[in-house]
Amino acid sequence: MPNLGVILQNSLRTGVAVPAFNVPYLPMIEPVIRAVIDQNAFALIETARLEWYKFEAGGPQEVAQEFGCWQSPDHVRLHLDHIPVIDEDGQQVDYLSIIRQAIDLGYHSVMVDGSRLPLEENINATKRVVQLAHAAGIPCEAELGVIRGHEAGPLPSYEELFSSGAGFTKIEEARRFVTETSCDWLSVAIGNVHGAISKGYKDQKKVSARLDLNHLKALSSATSIPLVLHGGSGIPQEYVLASFKKGIAKINIATEIRQAYESALEETGSVSTAQEAVFQRTAWLVGDYLGLKDTQPIIMKGQV
């Protein structure tokens, strides 16, 4: 069975993306995995630090344990999402010890997010994590550019963000960043935004983000590594599908399945009904929205 580094290379080469689903509530893990297997696709379960503190995922150990109950390595692997060096509230994070812990727990890949740091410091922090990850034989994702949405309060006008290109990952910085850090995958800012997570905003319908596909293509040629699209919920399908042909190998999806879980739970009070809602939404996302039904053999072999 290929390791996750090879699988993402396969994804980049074939244009068959790997969706990565965030699970802010532990009972979401089982229905997401069931839906991925049901669609005969390949996906990641991922967990970010903010989901342990601002939601109910517990911590890296709790997620790994629940994942272990349902794991199916032909179809799903476990990724450590956003471990920020500076978090969304401006606090310093002991990122190295969290990432070490996840590696010891058997996570199949990890992410360090130094995107709130100046370039030089982001490079240094990322280098440290790449060394840890590579010593354990797993890939490391990093982030460069400004992907908004996790900070408290309302998002600045999306139209303004998009048309100015402010915060987009810069081509020359990306080239240098990848060369100097040897990171395996890079999360880029090309018009995508994270779903809001702060009180009063997290239940709102997400802004319909667009993607600058020419900019993406240029980033892909400059870096030659699998690129990652964060904030995958709510982007019109034609942009998402086109991005898979221009360098996006992994797409993170959080808001869509979180809101499915939360609203079903609120309506019915039943965890199993909420799990069923997550199953349905995930199966729809994988099959209809992302067009990934029956792509598991392609992603494993690396050829169509």
Instruction: Name the residues that contact Zn ion, by CB under 5 A.
Output: 230
Q: Least distance in Å: CB of 223 to Zn ion?
A: 18
**Cβ atoms of residues 50 and 87 within 8 Å:** yes
Determine the Cα–Cα distance for residues 35 and 66; give it in Å rounded to an integer: 16
Q: Least distance in Å: CB of 232 to Zn ion?
A: 9
Is 203 catalytic? The answer is no
Q: Running DSSP on this structure, what letter comes out for residue 185? A: E
74, 81, 89, 94: the active-site residue? 81
Taking each helix axis as running N to C, give the angle between helix 255-268 and helix 271-284, from 0 to 180 degrees, rounded to the nearest 10. Answer: 150
Of 132 and 251, which CB lies nearer to Zn ion in the complex structure? 251
Determine which helix (DSSP H) or strand (DSSP E) holds 256, and give its type and residue range. helix 255-268
Neighbours of 101 (CB within 10 A): 15
Determine the Cα–Cα distance for residues 23 and 109; give it in Å rounded to an integer: 16
Of 147 and 286, which CB lies nearer to Zn ion in the complex structure? 147
Q: Least distance in Å: CB of 96 to Zn ion?
A: 20
24, burial (CB in 10 Å: exposed 0-12, middle 13-18, buried 19+): buried
Q: Least distance in Å: CB of 81 to Zn ion?
A: 6
Of 71 and 198, which CB lies nearer to Zn ion in the complex structure? 198
| Residue of closest CB approach to Zn ion | 230
Helices (H) and strands (E) in the chain, counts: 13, 8
Please identify which residue in the block is written with the tokens 């410091």: 121
Of 110 and 265, which CB lies nearer to Zn ion in the complex structure? 110
Name the residues annotated as catalytic. 81
